[in-house]
Structure 1
Amino acid sequence: MNHTPMSSPHRPVVVLSRALDQAGDALAVVHPDDLDKPTPCAGWTVRELADHLAAAPEHFLQQARGEEVDWSASTGVGGDPAVLAAHFRTHADDLLHHWHGRPDDQVAQADWQSAELGVHTWDLVRAIGRKVPLDDEVAERGLAFIQQGLTDDNRGDAFGAPVGVPDDAPAYDRLVAFAGRDPRA
């Protein structure tokens, strides 16, 4: 899905809205029989990835409020995919409401959230093997953001070494390759 970018200080929030929509759509098509499948996130099953993705908006809000965030904490709502999707949508709405109230000089941080959501949405869609339209601008903005700060020294356990892909590869291939996933695998 392609959208023509508009120049606006709040563009990161517009794109985050689309990142949240596509992540919610991906969570909505997870079936209970998908939960034990492996994912491109090393060592994670669909169950673990879906819970991590469903918790993301709530964790982003905790961070925005200056609270300590345990990024490994689960949603606490159990493993039913429908419940995870509903949990995600509720907190996604709250997250967007938060961003709409922020001044122009703060909204660029929404691109980090788009990057996180974009990578994990791709991971989930790849793992379950279902078609969910992915928005190229989410990947482009997310990639531009993480390329500014993600280095070999700070990748930690969350990101593998970058995987080489052509410069003209599709947007999501470039995003996930930079995050350490092989889009050709």
Structure 2
Amino acid sequence: MPELYERIAERFGELIRECPPGRWEDPSPCPGWTARDVVAHVISNHRRAVAGLDGSGYSAPGRGEDLSRAWDAASEEIKAALRDPVTAGALLGEEFGSLPFEEFVRRMACADTLIHGWDLARATGQDEALDSEAVAVAVDILLPEDGDIRMPQAFGAKVSSAEGADAQTRLLNFLGRRV
């Protein structure tokens, strides 16, 4: 699992570093969010997960904060926590579904970093290909939760996939993204 997270995190970091400077305020596939908003959301969720380990506070990246540096720091904290077996197995509170940290990260990596990586790529004109193993894990996690994820500020209504669509397209359509 740490290897999967590391691949997804590295790809997200590449998308941040390679974002054309003039594209940060471009709209993303997430209604009302810019490319910058997508990145700030993912960083904030990473900070929130780490804070859940010790009850400390966290904040979303500020408007002037360097998103690449903020991402590197947030993802490194997750990686460090995953390398420590005690921390990786620590139970997070009810806010996190009372899951062990490593399971929450597995879900976050799939449902947040992975999907929002596609959102960022789409918003900024970058390569939209997703890690195929991560797509398969996301499908396993998200499809059974269909009814629970259809709420405001989460995932939109499903979009029909064309016959013969690949796994990435089917997952994105399931999550309300038009590909």
TM-score, normalised to structure 2, is 0.78
Q: Say if 1:155 and 1:67 are closer, same or farther in 2 by CA, change over 3 A.
A: farther
CA-to-aligned-CA distance 1:74-112 (integer Å, 9 cap, x gap): 312626xxx201110111011011122224994333321
* Equivalence map 1:1-185=2 (5 Å): 12-66=1-55, 74-76=60-62, 78=64, 83-101=66-84, 102-103=88-89, 106=100, 107-114=102-109, 115-131=111-127, 134-151=130-147, 154-166=150-162, 168-183=164-179
* RMSD (Å) for aligned C-alpha atoms: 2.6
Task: Tell me: CA distance 1:120–1:92, structure 2 relative to 1, closer, same or farther (3 Å).
Answer: same
Cα 1:112–1:67 change in 2 (3 A) is farther
The 3-state SS of whatever aligns with 2:143 is helix
- Percent identity among equivalent residues? 23
Gaps of 5+ in 1: 1-11
Q: What is the CA–CA distance in structure 2 between the aligned matches of 1:16 and 1:153, rounded to whole Å? A: 22
Give deviations 1:126-177, integer Å, cap 9, x for gaps.
1111226531111221222122324167533221011122575333222222
Higher relative contact order (CA 8 A, sep 6+): 1
113-122 or 149-158: which moved more?
149-158
Instruction: Give 1:36 shift.
Output: 2.1
Greater helix fraction, Structure 1 or Structure 2: 2
Say if 1:157 and 1:133 are closer, same or farther in 2 by CA, change over 3 A: closer
Q: Which runs of 5+ in 2 are unaligned?
A: 91-98
Between 1:132-141 and 1:21-30, the stretch displaced more is 132-141
How many residue pairs are counted as aligned between the two chains?
Answer: 166
CA contact 1:54–1:87 (8 Å) conserved in 2: yes
2:46–2:78 contact (8 Å) kept in structure 1: yes
Moved over 6 A (4+): none
